[in-house]
Structure 1
Amino acid sequence: QGMSSWLRSEGHLDAGPIYVRENGRLHVVSPAAGGAPAARPFRLFPRGFSVELCMNGEDDGARSPRTDHFIFTYTKEGNLRYSAKSLFSLVLGYISDNVDRVDSLIGFPEQIAEKLFSAAEARQKFTEPVAGLRALQKFTEAYGNLVLCSLCLRNRYLLISEKLEEIKSFRELTCLDLSCCKLGDEHELLEHLTKEALSSVKRLLLKDNSLSDAGLRRMTAPVRVLKKGLENLLILDLSCNPNITDVGIGYLLSFKKLNCLDISGAGLKDVNAVIKRLQMHIGLVHSKVPLKEFDHSSCRTEGWAEQTVLQWEQAIMEAMKPQEQLRSRTAALHFYGKTHRIEDVVKCKLVETETKASGHLQFYKKENQNCPLPLKREVADSHELKNNKKRALAEQERERTSKQKHLCLTVEDWDLLNTY
């Protein structure tokens, strides 16, 4: 009645046909019929109708049509129903598409930032060559270890070479696994380990990386002199690096907080002297059994960017696949046994260097243990006297060694320190 009275009213503007939806059907109300709704059904979308929405018409030449502003579903009656997305979803999608152009994310709530990172990750924004690096830096600068707290790059030397700048953008990592990557002493990533951005690393795995004494000298120079760099390091794996000798082990004595050390497979000349030296200076004891800290089972990539690292690796593997034209030819050659399979050449075999010469060399720091039984007074007094003498000698030795440390710096050490 209200509709008919409005239609009969004089002076109203002609708004065109009016549609009314009842029980899944759409009817048109015609003013010429005296206000009575027509019973003629009207289908808004004919059968076989395809939907194509062109949003932001002013940018049609620069970007493809957007169709993600609406959600299309079908009802039980078979009718097409569409509804607009929430304003938050639309804004989130727009910012994620242009996150590399954002000035800064510092101050934004972590919950919103995580959703924004996931939206950009779903659009594979971080896989883009230039814009991906800028976008990733916006998050790492603002949220640090929330983006990534642990990074496992074991046997992923191709990923390191392709995404080196992206890997260097991660900050406040606590665990970094670079095992079996053959980096060498001159690699840029090893130099980056001494920067302030990675001073939070507590677990560093450098197994089978072709390191030598020169690489350890560079890696420990900030800690030895400036008291910066890897000063919080607790676990260090240097196994399967045969070019590390007794001289290189001396550089590790600056890691006072070190709790576990693995130098199995190193090129040591006097193993017993090294064992005594480590126990005397930093309190590391030789372990008779393998330590669980070096089994690599608990090391994995953790953080918001966990799927991003997988996207990088998948993109590299896709680029390494042979072209379609060459597959038939290579398959025929494989059948006749004339060539080796590419997969066998690409995969890096984990080199396990024989450690028979140096033996099993893993060290750990014992916890302070209380004396289980009461001692006699005379024995206790004698132990106290011996301990006092040992403390006095130890203090003298520390002063002597500290003076020697300042005097034994070479010209190469000072040149290296001037680079920081």
Structure 2
Amino acid sequence: MCEVDPGNGPAYVREGGQLRGVSNIVLADPRPASSCRRTKPLALRKEHFKFTYNAKGNLRYSARSLFDISLLFVADNTHRLDSLRGFPEQIGEKLFAAAEEKCVFSHPDTAPRALQVFSDAYGDVVLKALCLRNRFPLLSERMCEIKTFHSLESLDLFGCRLGDNHDIFQHLTSSSLASSLIELFIGGNCLSDVGLQRLTAPIRMFKKGLNNLQHLDLSDNPISEKVVRYLTCLPKLQSLDVSGTHLELGTELKKSMLDLTGLVHSENPLSIFSHSRCKTEGWAEQVVNQWEMIASQVPKQKKIEESRKSALRFFGRQKFVSDVLNSTPLAREKEQQEKTEKLHFHRPAPGHFNTEENVARPAYNHNHGGKKRQRHLEGGSGGGRPHSPHSPHSPHSPPAKRFSSSSLSVEDVDLLNRY
């Protein structure tokens, strides 16, 4: 103890639950305060003891184990750790639960670094799926914390009002999520062609990001058929939802979707876009719930409430916040979504071609006998000029070249110059 002074007065000890004064006790000479590493003694805390009640209702307490005390100490200082790599997953789970109980992940000063330490060490065990459907305030307030989850396999941002230029776009196409993200739901976000072009620009230009994306939801966004060519940079895309957009189901859309992405129209709605199994999954599930509870709490003291209102009014944000909260949600109501015709596309199984595919495919997929008959009829009808082998209407013309993801438009070059 650094601040013990034998000249301050008598000394006491506790024996059998009672204090007893002692005399002629020799205490060690105190060291100067400057040489002490601690300016205050390390006092016992309540958390070092377990409090229970016996059969008679009397309070009893017992000391915690050294492991538990050490666990609580590390949980308090998780944001100061360099790494947890190599620690067993069982220890990591206990440490995460202790830090969560102490609200380490809820404080904005400690949460990002603490979550980063766990995510680096345990990956998708910390958070495998994150559902923020129609919870746009939570996304805005916890953006720094959400960016630490770099092992997500499923991310639902439906109705989060992203617009065409949101900070989350850079995280979605970052190298941290390149190999993990499989499902992405960004419907109902007022995302236009420009926004989707900006989202996919790093992938098309630098060939990095969303390498394993298989399911994409773009429903209820004001996008046109122009966005189909932006999706050619997703090599493993298996299903696509464009319901409630400006895309109209027709022969041209089916053909362009098949030629550019390899997807065909699905007659029946795909279950992956029903959002019935959308949930947050992982150790951090309760952490996300804590964030939402904190965000929804209203200050109890009227004085604090009035000071917050005056501050918002002073900085000119009160009108902005009220307009955002009272504005019509971008995500449509459930009844309207059920009435909307589902426009789903999927990748067919290898070797399986339905009727729609045969209609959409060019003439070179037919049998050779049909080609010969067609060549004979065209060559002998009216003695007209035979088709040139390079003519676009010739049955021998090569198939239309697929859109190359490496070709850059003027808009892409403009975006590239901004990086």
Question: What is the TM-score of this pair, normalised by structure 2?
Answer: 0.70
Q: Which of 256, 260, 276 is matched with 1:297 structurally? A: 276
Residue 401 of structure 1: CA displacement? 3.9
For the structure 1 residues 385 and 255, does the alpha-carbon distance in structure 2 shift closer, same or farther, using more than 3 Å as the test?
farther
Q: List per-residue Cα deviations over 1:354-379 (Å, max 9, x = no partner).
A: 789995311122223579xxxxxxxx
Counterpart Cα distance in 2 of 1:315 and 1:249:
41
Number of the residue aligned with 2:332: 351
Q: Equivalent residue for 2:176?
A: 197
In the TM superposition, residue 78 of structure 1 has moved relative to its aligned partner by 6.4
Partner of 1:216: 196
1:73 CA drift (Å): 3.3
Aligned-pair Cα RMSD in Å: 4.0
* Number of the residue aligned with 1:361: 343
CA distance in 1, matches of 2:273, 2:90: 34
Cα deviations by residue, 1:116-172 (Å, 9 ceiling, x for unpaired): 111000111111111122111111122221111100000110001111111111111
The aligned amino acid for 2:415 is: L
Report what 2:163 is aligned to: 184
The structural deviation recorded for 1:227 is 2.6
Alpha carbons of 1:417 and 1:71: their partners in 2 closer, same or farther (altered >3 Å)? same
Q: Secondary structure at the match of 1:181?
A: coil
Matched residue of 2:105: which SS?
helix
Provide the rounded CA distance (Å) in 2 between the counterparts of 1:136 and 1:287.
40
Match of 1:127, SS state, is coil
Matched, 1:127 2:84: no
Three-state SS of the structure 2 residue aligned to 1:120 is helix
How many pairs were matched up? 339
Q: CA 1:91 to 1:396, structure 2 compared with 1: closer, same or farther past 3 Å?
A: farther
- Is the Cα contact below 8 Å between 2:150 and 2:177 reproduced in 1? yes
Tell whether 2:223 aligns with 1:229.
no
Amino acid in the other structure paired with 2:237: L
Distance apart, 1:395 and its partner CA: 12
C-alpha separation between the residues in 1 aligned to 2:248 and 2:270?
Answer: 23
Q: What displacement does 1:311 show?
A: 0.4
**SS in structure 2 of the partner of residue 261 of structure 1:** strand
Alignment partner of 1:409 is 2:408: yes
Quick check: 2:161–2:330 contact (8 Å CA) kept in 1? no
Cα distance between partner residues in 1 of 2:249 and 2:54: 80
For 1:203, the aligned partner's letter is E
| Counterpart pick for 2:80 among 101, 104, 112 | 101
Residues 418/84 of structure 1: CA separation in 2 closer, same or farther (3 Å cut): farther
TM-fit CA distance, 1:409: 1.1
Letter in 1 for 2:85: I
The match for 1:166 among 145, 162, 165 is: 145
Distance 1:213 1:89, change over 3 A: same
| Equivalent position amino acid for 1:114 in 2 | E
Q: What are structure 2's unaligned runs of at least 5 residues?
A: 1-11, 20-37, 306-321, 354-364, 373-394
CA distance in 2, matches of 1:395, 1:164: 52
Q: Tell me the distance in 2 between the aligned counterparts of 1:202 and 1:223.
A: 15
Residues 81/258 of structure 1: CA separation in 2 closer, same or farther (3 Å cut): same
CA distance 1:122–1:228, change in 2 (3 Å): same
- What is the TM-score with the length of structure 1 in the denominator? 0.69
Alpha carbons of structure 1 residues 269 and 289: separation in structure 2 relative to 1, 3 Å = closer
In structure 1, distance between residues paired with 2:156 and 2:57: 55
Q: Match for 2:113: what amino acid? A: R
Question: What is the CA distance between 1:254 and its match in structure 2?
Answer: 2.4
Query: Where do 1:5-404 residues align within 5 Å?
Result: 66-76=45-55, 81-199=60-178, 200-242=180-222, 244-268=223-247, 271-319=250-298, 324=302, 345=326, 350-352=331-333, 359-368=341-350, 397=399, 400-401=401-402
SS of the counterpart of 1:179? coil
Q: Is the 8 A contact 1:70 1:82 kept in 2?
A: yes
Relative distance call for 1:113 and 1:273 in structure 2 (3 A) is same
Bigger Cα displacement from structure 2, 344-353 vs 108-117: 344-353
CA distance in 2, matches of 1:145, 1:394: 52
Cα distance between partner residues in 1 of 2:151 and 2:417:
24
- Contact map agreement 2:232 2:260 (CA 8 A) in 1: yes
CA 1:187–1:79: 2 relative to 1, 3 Å:
closer
CA distance in 1, matches of 2:264, 2:78: 50
Q: In the superposition, relative to structure 1, how do residues 246 and 355 fare at CA in structure 2: closer, same or farther (>3 Å)? A: farther
Give the secondary-structure state (helix, strand or coil) at the position aligned to 2:346: strand
Asked if structure 1 preserves the Cα contact closer than 8 Å seen for 2:211 and 2:234, the reply is: yes
Q: Deviations over 1:25-49 (max 9, x none)?
A: x8xxxxxxxxxxxxxxxx759xxxx
- 8 A contact 1:268–1:358 mirrored in 2: no
Rounded to whole Å, the distance in 2 between the matches of 1:227 and 1:359 is: 34
**Counterpart for residue 32 of structure 1:** none
1:197-240 deviation per Cα after TM superposition (whole angstroms, max 9, x unaligned): 11121100011011111111122223334332112111110000
SS at match of 1:198: coil
Question: Residue 375 of structure 1 corresponds to which residue in structure 2?
Answer: none
Which structure would you say has the larger Rg? 1
- The percent identity for this pair of structures is 44
Q: Which residue of 1 aligns with 2:24?
A: none
